[in-house]
């Protein structure tokens, strides 16, 4: 038998059929749906008189558009957002899929809700009309984003027409230094490979530093596989994975658990499996990282200075100049001299309990800088509740953070949480594109601890200096 990678194994286990021309039909185990990319897909089903093939494998959660202020149950002011939210509710009810409405404590960002509720399990195929579906790869599930016509295709057939990607291995050897987190790993990797480095590949992250991460940390790493251009990110499941999954509402129980477990333990890349591309990074070479520009690949260690556009090559020279202008930065200045006026803690990258704990640890007993706008948006209602129980919410509020309800919020600024033109934000989210957090807004991507540090000092700060 030929040696297989983890990706090969999951792929083969989901192959329904292969056509002569090589097109494959892949079975989909879990389909996550949110309000923005699904309405036309459901409408398509209605127009063609089709049903959802496997409603019990489909989960709908509103997240992109929902307000995160405490008064949100009074209704959504923006009409277009409201229409999309109402449509999701109607579609979920009409087609009989699992649904977590805005007033349900389990509501949250779809990529946080899936794992939390035990929908995401090792070895599964998971899709969603959203590129950060890669998050679920942390469980050893093949998970990726799809377009609206594919959403409809999955709803109707529970399959996707796919061509197989290549295999890429990213190994992080050794141990992380203090102050360095999962977010820094994933940003560092993108800094190394560029945003197209993983194009056409599924990345498997492995190595001692990855093994040492919690499930939350692994989700952070896989979440940004897409920023590196990869179709998906994967981490082989291990005891930590099984411990996380056990007892979740939709995880298997009893005999089914035992059967599942013995299957899950076969989910790893065989020793002599061949990868098309390999990248090895020493954990000790990774510093707390920050983006200076408008592409997730514009990553530097916090100890560095803002680069000169002339330091780049080819088309990147112009792009870098444009990024410097947009970000309002002077080449040569220290990254730690960049003033920050807004801090956003949240998103499917860093909106989990471990992230909030990291922030609380930094700001405990302290106050955020005068005039700083700092916002914590938990990734789900359950994360919020747990943080309240652990006393984290109190610590954050005492320090001056706003304590919000769950949703995507300022990660993409589709709800009212937006930056004003020129405002500069240290954000724990995953994209720093022009206008991503609001027209003219400037985003620096950082880890939760680094965002917390910036909230205290009012400028980008090396967490190790605090």
- Catalog residues that contact another protein under the rule CB under 8 A: 16-17, 25, 27, 29, 39-40, 43-44, 47-48, 50, 53-54, 80, 83-84, 87, 121, 123-124, 148-149, 152-153, 156-159, 161, 251-252, 256-257, 259-260, 263
CB of 109 to ligand SF4, least distance (A): 5
Q: Which residues pair with 71 in a beta bridge?
A: none
430 contact, one of another protein, ligand SF4, none, CB 5-8 Å limit per kind: ligand SF4
Angle formed by the axes of helices 353-363 and 448-457, to 10°?
A: 30
| Token pair 């979920």: residue | 92
Contacted by 80, from ligand SF4, another protein, none: CB < 5 to 8 Å by type = another protein
> Which of ligand SF4, another protein, none does residue 463 bind (CB under 5 to 8 Å by kind)?
none
Residue 79 CB, nearest approach to ligand SF4 (Å): 20
DSSP 399: H
Nearer to ligand SF4, 159 or 380 (CB): 380
Q: Which is nearer to another protein, 263 or 391 (by Cβ)? A: 263
Q: Least distance (Å) from ligand SF4 to the CB of residue 148? A: 15
Instruction: Tell me how far, at minimum, the Cβ of 114 lies from ligand SF4, in Å.
Output: 11
CB of 155 to ligand SF4, least distance (A): 19
Give the nearer residue to another protein in terms of CB position, either 3 or 16: 16
Distance CA(213)–CA(98), nearest Å, equals: 31
What, of ligand SF4, another protein, none, does residue 132 touch, CB below 5 to 8 Å by kind?
ligand SF4
State the DSSP H helix or E strand holding residue 260, giving kind and residue range, or none if neither.
Answer: helix 254-264
Q: How far is CA 442 from CA 131, 140, 178, 305, 343, in A?
A: 22, 34, 28, 17, 11
Nearer to another protein, 84 or 291 (CB): 84
What's the CA gap between 300 and 297, in Å, rounded?
A: 9
Q: Which residues bind ligand SF4 (CB under 6 A)?
A: 63-64, 109, 111, 130, 132, 347-348, 408, 411-412, 429-430
**How far is Cα 130 from Cα 110, in angstroms, rounded to an integer?**
9
Out of ligand SF4, another protein, none, which partner does residue 48 contact, by CB within 5 to 8 A per kind?
another protein
Q: Are 192 and 34 in contact (CB under 8 A)?
A: no
Closest approach of Cβ 62 to ligand SF4, in Å? 11
Query: What is the bridge-based pairing of β-strands 402-403 and 166-173?
Result: unpaired
| Residue with smaller CB distance to another protein, 83 or 466 | 83
Nearer to another protein, 27 or 312 (CB): 27
Separation CA 331–CA 436 (nearest Å): 23
Distant-in-sequence, close-in-space partners of 358: CB < 8 Å, separation ≥ 6: 181, 447, 448, 449, 452
Residue 87 interacting partner from ligand SF4, another protein, none (CB closer than 5 to 8 Å by kind)? another protein
What six digits make up the tokens of 232? 């998906």
How far is the C-alpha of 257 from the C-alpha of 120, rounded, in Å? Answer: 14
Which partner from the list ligand SF4, another protein, none does 232 bind, CB cut-off 5 to 8 Å by kind?
none
Nearer to ligand SF4 by C-beta: 269 or 349? 349
Please name which of 225, 258, 64 lies closest in space to residue 142, comparing C-alpha atoms. Answer: 225
The nearer residue to ligand SF4, 210 or 411, going by C-beta atoms, is: 411
Q: How far is the CB of 180 from ligand SF4 (least distance, A)?
A: 23
Beta strands in 260-411 (DSSP E): 277-282, 289-291, 299-301, 342-345, 373-376, 402-403
Smallest distance, Å, CB 99 to ligand SF4? 17
29 binds, among another protein, ligand SF4, none (CB under 5 to 8 A by kind): another protein
Q: How do beta strands 24-27 and 15-18 pair? A: antiparallel
Task: Report residue 239 CA to chain centroid gap.
Answer: 22
Could you tell me the smallest distance in angstroms from the CB atom of residue 445 to another protein?
27
Which among ligand SF4, another protein, none contacts residue 83 (Cβ within 5 to 8 A by kind)? another protein
Torsions phi, psi of 412, nearest 5?
-130, 0
Residue 257: other Cβ atoms inside 10 A: 15
CA 35 to CA 42: how far, in whole Å? 11
Alpha-carbon span 206 to 159, nearest angstrom: 29
Q: Which residue number, 162 or 430, has a Cβ lying nearer to ligand SF4? A: 430
Pick the closer one to another protein by CB: 256 or 333: 256
The option from another protein, ligand SF4, none interacting with 464 (CB < 5 to 8 A, set by class) reads: none
């Amino acid at each position: 038998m030929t040696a297989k990678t983890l990706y090969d194994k999951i792929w083969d286990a989901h192959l329904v059929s292969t056509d002569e021309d090589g097109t494959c039909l892949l079975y989909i185990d879990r389909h996550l749906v949110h309000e923005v990319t699904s309405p036309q897909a459901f409408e398509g089903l209605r127009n063609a008189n089709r049903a959802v093939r496997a409603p019990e494998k489909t989960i709908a959660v509103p997240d992109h558009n929902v307000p995160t202020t405490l008064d949100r149950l009074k209704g959504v002011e923006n009409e277009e957002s409201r229409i999309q939210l109402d449509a999701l509710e109607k579609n979920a009810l009409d087609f009989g899929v699992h649904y977590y409405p805005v007033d349900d404590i389990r509501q949250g960002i779809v990529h946080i809700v899936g794992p939390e509720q035990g929908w995401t399990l090792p070895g599964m195929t998971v899709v969603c009309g959203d590129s950060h579906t890669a998050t679920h790869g942390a469980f050893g599930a093949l998970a990726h984003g799809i377009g609206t016509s594919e959403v409809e295709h999955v709803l109707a057939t529970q399959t996707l027409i796919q061509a197989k990607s290549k295999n890429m291995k990213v190994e992080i050897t050794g141990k992380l230094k203090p102050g360095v987190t999962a977010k820094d790993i994933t940003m560092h990797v993108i800094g190394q490979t560029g945003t197209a480095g993983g194009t056409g590949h599924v990345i498997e992250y492995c190595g001692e530093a990855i093994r040492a991460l919690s499930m939350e940390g692994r989700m952070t790493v896989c979440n940004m596989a897409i920023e590196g251009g990869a179709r998906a990110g994967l981490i082989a499941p291990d005891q930590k994975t099984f411990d996380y999954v056990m007892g979740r509402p939709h995880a298997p129980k009893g005999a089914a658990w035992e059967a599942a477990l013995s299957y899950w333990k076969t989910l790893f890349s065989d020793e002599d499996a061949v990868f098309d591309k390999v990248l090895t990074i020493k954990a000790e070479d990774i510093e707390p990282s920050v983006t200076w520009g408008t592409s997730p690949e514009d990553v530097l260690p916090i100890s560095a200075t803002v680069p000169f556009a002339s330091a780049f090559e080819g088309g990147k020279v112009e792009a870098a100049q444009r990024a410097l202008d947009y970000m309002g930065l002077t080449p040569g200045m220290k990254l730690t001299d960049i003033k920050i006026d807004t801090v956003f803690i949240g998103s499917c990258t860093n909106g989990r309990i471990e992230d909030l704990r990291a922030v609380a640890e930094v700001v405990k007993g302290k106050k955020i800088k005068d005039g700083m706008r700092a916002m914590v948006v938990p990734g789900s209602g359950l994360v919020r509740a747990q943080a309240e129980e652990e006393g984290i919410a109190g610590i954050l509020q005492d320090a001056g953070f706003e304590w919000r309800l769950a949703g995507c919020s300022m990660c993409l600024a589709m709800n009212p949480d937006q930056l004003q033109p020129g405002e500069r934000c240290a954000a724990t989210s995953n994209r720093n594109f022009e206008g991503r957090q609001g027209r003219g807004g400037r985003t620096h991507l950082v880890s939760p601890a680094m965002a917390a540090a910036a909230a205290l000092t009012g400028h980008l700060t090396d967490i190790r200096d605090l």
